[in-house]
Structure formats: structure tokens, C-alpha cells
Amino acid sequence: MLTQPDDQPRHAAVGPATGVRPARALTVLAVADTEARVRLSAAMLGAVPGEGHTVGLAVLNGPHTPTPARLRAALRSTPQAECQVPVLTRSRLRRLVRKRRPDAVLLNCSADRVAELAPHLASGTGRRRPVLVSALEPLSSPVTEAEVRARARTDLLVVHSHRELTECAELAERTGVRVNTALATLPYLPRTRRSFPLVPRQAVVPAPNRIVFAAQADVPAARADRERVLRALSELARARPDLEVVVALDDAEAGDEGASEAHSYPRLRRHLVEEGAAGADDLVFRSGVPASRLARPRGFVTVSSPTVLEAVAREVPVVLLSDFGVAEDLHNAAFEGSGTLGTLDDVRAVRFRAPSPYWAVRTYFHPETDDDWAERFDALVDRSRDGQLGPVGAVEGEGPQRRVGTWARNLRTALTACGRLRTALQRASGP
């Protein structure tokens, strides 16, 4: 059993409850450090090939550790939803791996944490060390050299689209970094539509009376921008009384949790109603259910919520708002060329659309027959059990000079991020 009190994650057995565990049953630990990676990790645990596995999930303590409310939201509808998920320090995580010696560790953390932890988790467990797997966070665009260099320290880098696979290969060729990549379908996409045909199909007529806006805590950040969204949605509701316009909130925003929610949508709606800029009954606020789980709507709109991928998989027409820009820090750059970027004017006019089939096949909606991560993972587990996995450590081509260059690049990136954060805070604190 993987679970122990205090710092050890509770387990969930995956597979039929026959009382007889197959010979191939594995012990797999997933470690994540953000809300999005927790959700991805939980889904990956459920997709580990085979049956009867003992799996555990832990969160690595750090500046982006999800709050209890966000953790619950990330784990809803997963086998880990009712489990106590511990928050571990790096030293406690190392002790756990050395004591329990799992077959594999899904190290779904930031690039710098993967680079730091991988060598430690691969040592101190004897001749048979765990397979180290890492995955790119969905909507990572573009894949960066820092990501590839850090995750090359693991045994397998899992990507979820042909675009990411191509970008990793190009970076590896340009930098000389050896990285073992594998393709997997995003495990939390509904099976109704995980791949697209190469030619457009006739649109399926959706339920005609509901528009869903998936709210996010971090984008857009400024009060004025968030009010623009609410005003547009209210205008739509008043112009089209036949439509129910729903604002889908995550648990944290519904509870006005955190400093970033000083301009939460419920609070701003009350303010607009008091000003007479919106009607009290224009919008319906829903919480406790992910936006993608609401009854199939006529249209789905968001700035960049990953739940838009689930909406696309369910063949719901969508709009990704570009009113606030298209950039990596807005998490919507991956949708360039998809045909789904639009504006609040499109929302007012109920102009929702399906993505380009070419974009979809290249980005997250490839045929599942293209996936090869299960085979690669199985082969690595075989090597691990035979004691044939070598050490992990410095990436090929990374000498002192390159490390100094990497440090300088990281410093420039940090300074740029600080500047963006200062600008965002100034905008958010506006009137």
C-alpha cells in the first residue's frame, strides 16, 4: 500500500475489483505543483495502461500550490476526488519515493522543479529505480528550450499533440538535447469526440437556449476588462430573451477566494446591477460544476479555460476571446490558426464556431491510434524491473558555458515576468 499517515498519499486501485491483482499491477505516484497539473496528473493516473494498479497523488509545496477549493475543483469527477491529497516538501517527497519505491513517478511540475528533483528521485532506491515520466501542461505554446532541457532529465516526456511533438523534435535537433518523447491523447477529454476528420462535417445542432461563459480567476485580470465581459453577456441576454446566459464559476471564484478575486465576477455583477448597467436577472451564475459538464449549450465562450477543449470534444461551438490579446501568458496562443478566436461582438451576435479540422488534428484531437505513450511506458517499466535504467542527470551538451547562458536567460525571463506582473497589478487595482 502506497499510503501512510502524514506525508504519504492515499491510494486508489484502478481496475476491476476481483480481489486478484494481475501480475503487471504497478505502483505509480504522481506529483504536481499547480491546479492545472493536478488535474492532468489525476487523469494520467487513470490512463496508466493495465489494471489493478495502486496509484497515489501528491502536491509539491510551493508558491503556486492550489488552495483547498481549487484542489477540490481540479479533482472533481476523478478517482482521487474523495482522497486526501497531501502537500509535500521536496525532502518529504524524496523520502517517500525512497521508502515506497514506486514503479513510476509522474513528475508533473514546473521545468525547474523537474530538473532539480529528477536526479534525486532516481537515486537512493537501489539498482531498480522508478521510471520518471513528465508531461507538458496542456495549451503550452510554444514549447520552450527550457522545458525540453529540464524534462529531458526524465525517462519519458509525454506530449498531447502533434504540434508539441514536432516542436520538441525541432528543439532537440537544434540544441543536441536527447529527449524521449511519446504522444498521448489528453486523458480528461470526453470520448465522444477525441479526434477530428480531415474534412469538416455538417455541424450538429446543439441545444438552442444556453450560452456558457467559463470564468477564470487570472484572465482577464483587470476590473475594466472583466466588466466588459459581463456587460457583453448582459447585452446578449437582454437582446436574446430566448437564451439562458450562464457564467460558470470555479469553486474558488464562487467563494470570492484569494486576493486575485477582489474583482470576482459575482462581485462585479452586483456592482453593475447597482449602477443600472446590467439587470439582476440577465445572467445565471453556476458553481460547483465544471463549465464543460453543463448540459450541452449552443455556444461556449472563454478567454483561455482548458475546459474549452472538453467543449470542442463534445462538438459545442466555441469562441476564444481575443479582445484582451493573444499571448503565452494569456494561455490562448495555442489557438492561433484554429478559427475559434473571436471577440465580444461575436458573442453578442451569437457567432460561435468549430475549430479548423487541420488545427484540431494537429492540436490535441489526433486519432488515438497515433498514441504511443503506453507502449513506451511499458518498455521503460520492463527495463526498470530488470535494473536496466541508467542514471539521470545533466543533459547532453550542457557544459558550464551553457549553464551560465541558461542562468542568464532565466534571469531575463524572471525580470520580464516581474514587469508583466507589475503591469497586471496596476491594471487590476484600477478604478
d(CA 427, CA 187): 36
Cα within 13 Å of Cα(146), Cβ side: 17
Q: What is the CATH number of domain 11-189+368-385?
A: 3.40.50.1980
Of 69, 39, 33, 111, nearest to 292 by C-alpha is 39
Q: For 210-362, CATH number?
A: 3.40.50.2000
What pLDDT, on the 0 to 100 scale, is given for residue 208? 65
The pLDDT of residue 397: 44
Strands 53-60 and 11-14: antiparallel
Q: For residue 291, what pLDDT is reported? A: 60
Kindly give the parts of the chain with pLDDT less than 70: 1-23, 124-126, 191-208, 251-262, 288-295, 393-431
pTM for this model (two decimals) = 0.80
Positions of E strands within 48-130: 53-60, 87-88, 104-108
Residue 138, judged by CB atoms within 10 A of its CB (0-12, 13-18, 19+), counts as: buried
The amino acid occupying position 307 is T
Handedness of CA 165, 330, 185, 347 (dihedral sign): negative
